[in-house]
Structure 1
Amino acid sequence: MRDHGGFEGNGQTLRILSRLEKFSEAAGSNLTRETLLGVLKYPAPFSEVANPDLHPRMLADTSGTPLLDRKASEPPKCFLDCEQDVVDWILSPLSKGDQDAFRQFDIRAGRHAKVRHKSLACSIMDLADDISFGIHDLEDALELRLIDQKQFQAHVPAAACQGLLDYLNSQYRGQYGNDVYGGLLDRLFGDGNDRKHQINRILNFVIPSIQIRDEAEFEEPRLRYRTEVPKPVADFLAAVTKLVYEEVICSPSVQHLEFKGQMMVIAVFEVMKSEPKRFLPCDAYAKFASSSDPMRIICDYVSGMTDSHLLRTYERLFAPRMGSVFDKL
């Protein structure tokens, strides 16, 4: 889609809810402005925030096998230009000053531009994501033994969790002895019950600390107020999130699967694009043939596949022994 308006996951979510869902004739799920404002995570269009120097491409120095240049192909955080009218409708009750301020973004050298603002609902969602991806992904990684104590100490030293250590020392006085950090490690890397209790204590440290920040440049309360956590909590969450990202998400065992999925998506998309009438299911082709933006219809079809649907389609197209004329597409 690099020459046809791009693709970005959050932008596709807005497109699904506002256009593609079938609960209404032409308005997708027919949701309120309030709900869609909470979905509009990045209020700037692809065409304005995409850095033209970061053009998605395949690696140039491979010998025979086309491979995705994943760094160059990372999309900007945005909504898709084809949903500009939806975004205009969402923001239309706001004053012009609020609309202009809300759409602002910062240009970054060598990177895509970054939006400045989000709604109150989005800030709540983002913070919930941070807590989930940080604390609960940490719990899962510890349970599955994907992270060891040495890795934890390297990414989350005592200095990064000083706020948590102070909380544990004050709320559970005497239970951690003279070395609160050591006691934290013992519980996280102990048996399942100790770990579960410690995770609950961490959540009791994080969640009650949430506070509301006032962005005075906005008139509308839905834009003016944002959720945040104090710096000691934010530092701890950032360290834990980085730990999970570096040691789990970026591990070869996960990256092999992610890369395979990316290459499968590219392969299926390229096949559908090559001869839409021959490869798209009949209902998808009917939309393609009548659309003023036909490539977006192919993108909608491929991006709407579940993992199992993508795998079946890929195998049907590329695996010699897979597929039948009787398969349901």
Structure 2
Amino acid sequence: MSNVWLERQRANVVQRKDDHRSPFQRDRARILHSAAFRRLQSKTQVMGSGQSDFYRTRLTHSLEAAQIGSGISAQLRNKSPELAAQLFPADDTLIESLCLAHDIGHPPFGHGGEVALNFMMREHGGFEGNGQTFRIVSYLEPFSEHHGMNLARRTLLGLIKYPQTLNQLSCQASVKVPENFRQLKAADWHPPKGLFQDDIDTLNWVLSPLSSADKALFQQLVTQDNRHSKTLYKSLDCSIMELADDIAYGIHDLEDAIVTGVVQQDDFEHHVIDKLKQLDDQWLQQLSDDLSDKLFGHKTYQQKEAIGGLVNYLITAIVLEDLNETQQLQFEEPLLRYNAKHPIIAQQVLKIFKDFVFDFVIKRTEIQHHEYRGQQIVMELFEALASDPERLLPKNALRNYQDSVAKQLNSHRVIADYVAGMTDDFATGLYQSLFIPTSVNNKHDLHQ
């Protein structure tokens, strides 16, 4: 591996006595010990943080994704040992780091919070969860003074799922702004997938080892009528992380919904089992025969066995793809030339499960009510904080705000950073303290 991918923005990192860790072991430690990572324990994954101690939060989801990511690496090392030896670090710490960090930019209340912040930031660069993840690790977390966790360049590259800035991707300039927050239609304000213009210098630093041709190809867009533009390519490490994320979402989050009675067996059989049986795969045919009974039965070990079998199928199907061969591309950098990929049938299987979770869990009225409520909370908090930041922001956020004003930077981004970092519970509590009157005699209020 070229040493250029091990470089950090701040080169003179403190050297501790007898510290023999690899660069990626250090990165994983910084992620695990960050405040942003800890906050994932109180952020909604699918079912809603705090509704039950059984449901997966974004923290447990990220831990499961990391385990799946290391499983994918093991499979690829076994299937393509010579190529994997050239492309992969000596251990799985890099992939685990990416999976652990991939969700730390998500705001409170899931996509409701993301839509709310994108709307409030519509004239100040927009907001998107993956872009916030990149901003946290490369700028906000206080491991270093100006470079966040100061991660290795390859780690940062792996966290860039969409290597373009939102202003290059957005088509929201023509969307009519609602008269008040409660009239906001979420579908109109879903952000494009990308990074913030405020972080363009860091993005350029990460991509600086690439040739001009590689950089242009990697950042290529596809435009869509009346929809946001999309980037096309990801790095090798990012492709592994994204597959691990999708498997954890499609299979493990389904387990939550089954155990808690959110989805019904009849719907599962019609929308999953029937579709699996149409695929040309003998193992899937056998799996489908009793999968529904195992998942919805009362024997927990059978349910775990079925979930484990599905995850194993989706991990072991993954292969390394040479994009230059399969898509007639011309990437020079091996980290861009190769991606982890599912063959077509495994792709279809994962899509069946992801679609089912989306249609029968995410789109449930109760879940959408939770997202809508969170959306309103986030917009009102942002509006209040932006109206009088000197008065309402806490000391650390206020210092950052004053610094951005002094340097003529995007001060609204500081407010978005503060709100995005809140957990669901903290945002709800702050909303109540600002907007919901309580008795003056309330002992709790007197100590605020």
TM-score, length-scaled by structure 2: 0.67
Counterpart position of 2:127: 7
Given candidates 293, 302, 306, the residue that maps to 2:419 is 302
Cα distance in 2 for residues equivalent to 1:214 and 1:11:
27
Cα distance in 1 for residues equivalent to 2:177 and 2:249:
30
Pairwise CA distance, 1:286: 2.6
Counterpart position of 1:95: 211
- The residue matched to 1:75 in structure 2 has which SS? coil
Cα deviation 1:10-47 (Å, max 9, x = unaligned): 10111111111111111111111111001111101111
1:132 equivalent to 2:248? Answer yes
Cα distance in 1 for residues equivalent to 2:309 and 2:419:
42
Cα distance in 1 for residues equivalent to 2:125 and 2:333:
31
Pairwise CA distance, 1:168: 5.2
Pairwise CA distance, 1:189: 2.0
Which amino acid in the other structure matches residue 195 of structure 1?
A: Q
- The residue matched to 2:239 in structure 1 has which SS? helix
Task: Assess if the C-alpha contact under 8 Å between 1:5 and 1:46 holds in 2.
Answer: yes
Given candidates 211, 219, 228, the residue that maps to 2:332 is 219
Given candidates 429, 432, 437, the residue that maps to 1:312 is 429
Counterpart position of 1:278: 391
Taking the TM superposition and a 5 Å limit, the aligned residue runs for 1:15-94 are: 15-53=135-173, 55=175, 57-58=177-178, 66-94=182-210
- The residue matched to 1:324 in structure 2 has which SS? helix
Consecutive unaligned residues in structure 2, runs of 5 or more = 1-120, 325-329
Task: Assess if the C-alpha contact under 8 Å between 1:214 and 1:224 holds in 2.
Answer: yes
Cα deviation 1:225-250 (Å, max 9, x = unaligned): 11111111111110111111111111
Task: Assess if the C-alpha contact under 8 Å between 1:56 and 1:73 holds in 2.
Answer: no
Change (3 A) 1:161 1:96: farther
Change (3 A) 1:242 1:56: farther
Given candidates 247, 257, 271, the residue that maps to 2:370 is 257
Cα deviation 1:153-209 (Å, max 9, x = unaligned): 23214343555961156xxxxxx6xxx634222222222222211122222222111
Cα distance in 1 for residues equivalent to 2:163 and 2:312:
32
1:166 equivalent to 2:282? Answer yes
1:234 equivalent to 2:341? Answer no
Task: Assess if the C-alpha contact under 8 Å between 1:57 and 1:73 holds in 2.
Answer: no
Q: Percent identity?
A: 40
Cα deviation 1:114-159 (Å, max 9, x = unaligned): 1000111110011001111111112221111211122112321434
Cα distance in 1 for residues equivalent to 2:281 and 2:252:
19
TM-score, length-scaled by structure 1: 0.90
Instruction: Pick which of 230-239 and 262-271 moved more.
Output: 230-239
Counterpart position of 1:172: none
Q: How many residues align?
A: 314
Task: Assess if the C-alpha contact under 8 Å between 2:182 and 2:376 holds in 1.
Answer: no
Pairwise CA distance, 1:56: 7.3
Counterpart position of 2:294: 187
Which amino acid in the other structure matches residue 189 of structure 1?
A: F
Cα distance in 2 for residues equivalent to 1:66 and 1:207:
43
Change (3 A) 1:12 1:56: farther
Cα deviation 1:61-86 (Å, max 9, x = unaligned): x8xx7332201111000100011110
Cα distance in 2 for residues equivalent to 1:165 and 1:102:
34
Change (3 A) 1:320 1:231: same
Task: Detail structure 1 runs of 4+ shifted over 6 Å in the superposition.
Answer: none
Cα RMSD over matched residues?
Answer: 2.0
- The residue matched to 1:114 in structure 2 has which SS? strand
Q: Who wins on radius of gyration, i.e. which is larger? A: 1
Cα deviation 1:274-298 (Å, max 9, x = unaligned): 1111211233223212212211111
Which amino acid in the other structure matches residue 205 of structure 1?
A: Y
Consecutive unaligned residues in structure 1, runs of 5 or more = 170-175
Which amino acid in the other structure matches residue 348 of structure 2?
A: D
Cα distance in 2 for residues equivalent to 1:286 and 1:36:
26
Which amino acid in the other structure matches residue 76 of structure 1?
A: P
- The residue matched to 1:26 in structure 2 has which SS? coil
